[in-house]
Structure 1
Amino acid sequence: NKNGITSTKLNNTTYFDHDNNNFKEATSWIDKGDAFLALDKNSNGLIDNGNELFGNHTISNTRFKYTNNKATNG
């Protein structure tokens, strides 16, 4: 949508296990028109936790950190 990433307010009741500790934390969430890049690793039809999200802090199974310093918004 070329307007950057916007998020909901923290007081909206969204809960997600960001750190894969089996506890869903209250969190802000991305707004309409924005998205996450995710992979359903356990094939259960859900994105259960942060382990299934892909981003600049994602580390592969071989401990390689995925980064792209040339990535831009838009």
Structure 2
Amino acid sequence: MATAAKPPSNAPASYEAALEELEQLLARLESGDMPLAQLLTQYQRGATLLKYCRDQLEAVEGQIKVLDQGPLKTWTPE
């Protein structure tokens, strides 16, 4: 029996948590108060969060397409 891959330990708990963290990170980046040494690390974290959010939205869009195609079917993410 195959088991689902576990998300990395630093993965957000949910789309909403990722979005909130991304908004806070963006505010810190825009403030200009972040030391240069942290800037790249935080930018990379933001890119990771953005990808997570996009992946979650694409999954929901896929589910909606399945629902729009006719009779309800069991949906499984890729």
Asked if Structure 1 and Structure 2 have the same fold, meaning a TM-score greater than 0.5 normalized by the shorter chain, the answer is no
Q: Say which structure is richer in helix.
A: 2
TM-score where L is the length of structure 1: 0.25
Q: Say which structure is richer in strand.
A: 1
